[in-house]
Amino acid sequence: MAYLLDRNPSPESPRLGAMTLHPTPESVPRARRWFKKFIAPYSPACSVDDCVLMISELVTNAILYGRSDEPWLVRVEWFRDGASLRVEVHNPGFPANVRLRRPDAEEAHGRGLLLVDSLADSWHSGPSAFGGRSCPS
């Protein structure tokens, strides 16, 4: 299995890093570890732990709901956005329409985007430059 990581972004670019992951459950903890390791030198003003939680939720959703007839990968990118940090998770295919759910108390799943919504200043879903969907937060 190959994993790609942009360790040396250009100083004049707003992009601080990127990783490409296979759509397997093992990629979720790998995304958390890599992000924590490679964001540390930038000392972001936001909570790194909050960002790690959002990445975990969005990568999990990308793996669970992304689909393609071709082999596919999940891409995570993080950018300087003024004094803020913007994180994008790209996945191919579904879901075509990402939305917040309000699960019943007894439901075991469906709260990931509620966590993202409560932690991020803003988030949305739209077409990805890599095909499929993107969830920037």
Specify the CATH number for the domain of residue 19. 3.30.565.10
In a domain, residue 136? The reply is no
In a domain, residue 120? The reply is yes
In a domain, residue 137? The reply is no
Which pLDDT value is given to residue 21?
Answer: 92
| Distance between start and end Cα atoms, the chain | 28
Mean pLDDT value across the chain: 77
**Cα angle vertex 21, ends 15, 22, to 5°?**
160
Write the pLDDT tens digit of every residue in 70-82: 788 899 988 887 7
Please say if the pLDDT value at position 125 is more than 80: no
In a domain, residue 131? The reply is no
Write the pLDDT tens digit of every residue in 31-45: 999 999 888 888 888
In a domain, residue 50? The reply is yes
Closest CA to 95 of 64, 53, 49, 51: 64
For 54, counting Cβ atoms within 10 Å of its Cβ (0-12 exposed, 13-18 middle, 19+ buried), the class is buried
What value does the mean pLDDT take over residues 52-63? 90
What's the number of domains the chain is made of? 1
Who has greater pLDDT, 8 or 58? Answer: 58
In a domain, residue 132? The reply is no
**What confidence tier does 29 reach under pLDDT thresholds 50, 70, 90?**
very high
Range of the domain at 78: 2-126
